[in-house]
Amino acid sequence: MPIYGEWHNPGIRRCYGKVRFKRIETATDVAARMSLKTGEVLIAHQCPDCLRFHVGHADPTQLLIRDLPSICCFRCKGPITLAQKLKGMARDGIHAYCSEKCEQEDRVRIERRRRRKQAQKERKRRRKMERKPAEGSG
Ligand SMILES: [Zn+2]
Ligand SMILES: [Zn+2]
Protein backbone atom coordinates (compact mmCIF):
# COMPACT_ATOMS: atom_id res chain seq x y z
CA MET A 1 0.00 0.00 0.00
CA PRO A 2 1.54 3.33 -1.00
CA ILE A 3 1.92 6.00 1.62
CA TYR A 4 0.76 9.44 0.63
CA GLY A 5 1.51 12.70 2.28
CA GLU A 6 4.53 13.89 4.17
CA TRP A 7 6.29 11.74 6.62
CA HIS A 8 7.79 13.39 9.65
CA ASN A 9 10.37 11.75 11.77
CA PRO A 10 9.51 13.06 15.22
CA GLY A 11 13.00 12.27 16.48
CA ILE A 12 14.67 14.55 13.99
CA ARG A 13 12.01 17.18 13.55
CA ARG A 14 11.04 17.69 17.14
CA CYS A 15 11.42 21.41 17.07
CA TYR A 16 10.38 22.06 13.50
CA GLY A 17 8.06 25.04 13.35
CA LYS A 18 8.36 25.80 17.04
CA VAL A 19 9.51 29.07 18.44
CA ARG A 20 12.82 28.82 20.27
CA PHE A 21 13.42 30.86 23.37
CA LYS A 22 16.84 31.50 24.80
CA ARG A 23 15.56 31.97 28.32
CA ILE A 24 13.15 29.81 30.30
CA GLU A 25 11.64 32.97 31.79
CA THR A 26 10.55 34.21 28.38
CA ALA A 27 9.14 30.84 27.38
CA THR A 28 7.30 30.58 30.68
CA ASP A 29 5.75 33.98 30.23
CA VAL A 30 4.61 33.18 26.73
CA ALA A 31 3.25 29.80 27.83
CA ALA A 32 1.22 31.37 30.62
CA ARG A 33 -0.17 34.06 28.35
CA MET A 34 -1.05 31.58 25.62
CA SER A 35 -2.68 29.28 28.18
CA LEU A 36 -4.91 32.11 29.31
CA LYS A 37 -5.76 33.06 25.78
CA THR A 38 -6.55 29.58 24.51
CA GLY A 39 -7.79 27.94 27.70
CA GLU A 40 -5.42 25.07 27.03
CA VAL A 41 -2.52 24.33 29.29
CA LEU A 42 0.76 25.12 27.63
CA ILE A 43 4.07 24.68 29.31
CA ALA A 44 7.62 25.76 28.72
CA HIS A 45 10.15 23.00 28.38
CA GLN A 46 13.74 22.59 27.35
CA CYS A 47 14.25 20.86 24.05
CA PRO A 48 16.69 17.94 24.08
CA ASP A 49 17.53 18.59 20.43
CA CYS A 50 18.30 22.28 20.25
CA LEU A 51 18.65 22.93 23.99
CA ARG A 52 16.49 26.01 23.64
CA PHE A 53 13.09 26.39 25.27
CA HIS A 54 9.84 25.66 23.49
CA VAL A 55 6.24 26.29 24.39
CA GLY A 56 3.96 23.33 23.89
CA HIS A 57 1.06 21.36 25.23
CA ALA A 58 1.57 19.55 28.47
CA ASP A 59 1.03 15.84 28.12
CA PRO A 60 -1.60 14.21 30.35
CA THR A 61 0.87 12.74 32.82
CA GLN A 62 2.56 16.08 33.21
CA LEU A 63 -0.79 17.71 33.79
CA LEU A 64 -1.70 15.23 36.45
CA ILE A 65 1.48 15.87 38.37
CA ARG A 66 1.51 19.56 37.73
CA ASP A 67 -2.07 20.16 38.67
CA LEU A 68 -1.87 18.97 42.23
CA PRO A 69 0.53 21.14 44.17
CA SER A 70 -0.20 24.52 42.66
CA ILE A 71 -3.61 25.18 44.14
CA CYS A 72 -2.38 27.83 46.53
CA CYS A 73 0.58 30.14 46.85
CA PHE A 74 3.72 28.15 47.46
CA ARG A 75 4.96 30.70 49.99
CA CYS A 76 2.02 32.06 51.96
CA LYS A 77 -0.54 29.37 51.05
CA GLY A 78 -2.92 32.10 49.96
CA PRO A 79 -5.28 31.80 47.01
CA ILE A 80 -3.89 32.31 43.53
CA THR A 81 -5.47 33.29 40.26
CA LEU A 82 -5.65 31.06 37.23
CA ALA A 83 -3.00 33.17 35.53
CA GLN A 84 -0.62 32.73 38.44
CA LYS A 85 -1.31 29.03 38.60
CA LEU A 86 -0.63 28.65 34.90
CA LYS A 87 2.53 30.64 35.25
CA GLY A 88 3.71 28.35 38.01
CA MET A 89 2.79 25.28 36.03
CA ALA A 90 4.57 26.60 33.00
CA ARG A 91 7.68 27.33 34.99
CA ASP A 92 8.30 24.11 36.88
CA GLY A 93 4.94 22.66 37.81
CA ILE A 94 5.33 23.29 41.51
CA HIS A 95 6.05 26.87 42.37
CA ALA A 96 3.03 29.09 41.94
CA TYR A 97 2.74 32.34 43.85
CA CYS A 98 -0.06 34.76 44.70
CA SER A 99 2.09 37.82 44.11
CA GLU A 100 5.40 39.11 42.82
CA LYS A 101 6.39 39.67 46.41
CA CYS A 102 5.88 36.04 47.39
CA GLU A 103 7.71 34.88 44.30
CA GLN A 104 10.61 37.20 44.97
CA GLU A 105 10.89 36.18 48.61
CA ASP A 106 10.76 32.52 47.79
CA ARG A 107 13.30 32.89 45.06
CA VAL A 108 15.68 34.52 47.52
CA ARG A 109 15.09 31.65 49.94
CA ILE A 110 15.68 28.99 47.30
CA GLU A 111 18.79 30.77 46.09
CA ARG A 112 20.16 30.97 49.62
CA ARG A 113 19.53 27.29 50.20
CA ARG A 114 21.18 26.43 46.91
CA ARG A 115 24.28 28.43 47.84
CA ARG A 116 24.46 26.80 51.24
CA LYS A 117 24.28 23.35 49.69
CA GLN A 118 26.97 24.28 47.22
CA ALA A 119 29.24 25.53 50.00
CA GLN A 120 28.67 22.30 51.89
CA LYS A 121 29.56 20.27 48.86
CA GLU A 122 32.68 22.33 48.33
CA ARG A 123 33.78 21.79 51.93
CA LYS A 124 33.22 18.05 51.65
CA ARG A 125 35.19 17.92 48.44
CA ARG A 126 38.09 19.76 50.00
CA ARG A 127 38.11 17.50 53.03
CA LYS A 128 38.21 14.47 50.76
CA MET A 129 41.20 15.89 48.90
CA GLU A 130 43.07 16.43 52.14
CA ARG A 131 42.29 12.96 53.29
CA LYS A 132 43.51 11.42 50.06
CA PRO A 133 45.78 8.50 50.98
CA ALA A 134 49.41 8.50 49.91
CA GLU A 135 50.25 6.80 46.68
CA GLY A 136 51.39 3.22 46.67
CA SER A 137 49.24 2.03 49.53
CA GLY A 138 47.67 -1.39 49.19
ZN1 LIG B 1 14.15 22.25 19.76
ZN1 LIG C 1 1.65 34.28 48.53
Is-above-0.85 flag for pTM?
Answer: no
Q: How many CB atoms lie within 10 A of CB 29?
A: 17
Cβ atoms of 50 and 23 closer than 8 Å: no
**Closest ligand to 73 CA?**
2
Question: Which ligand does the CA of 79 lie closest to?
Answer: 2
User: What is the amino acid identity at position 112?
Assistant: R
Could you tell me the distance, in angstroms and rounded to a whole number, from the CA of residue 124 to the centre of ligand 2?
36
Q: What is the pLDDT of residues 58-101, one digit of tens each?
A: 765 555 444 444 467 888 888 777 777 777 777 766 678 888 89
pLDDT in tens, 98-136: 888 998 998 898 889 999 999 999 999 999 888 876 665
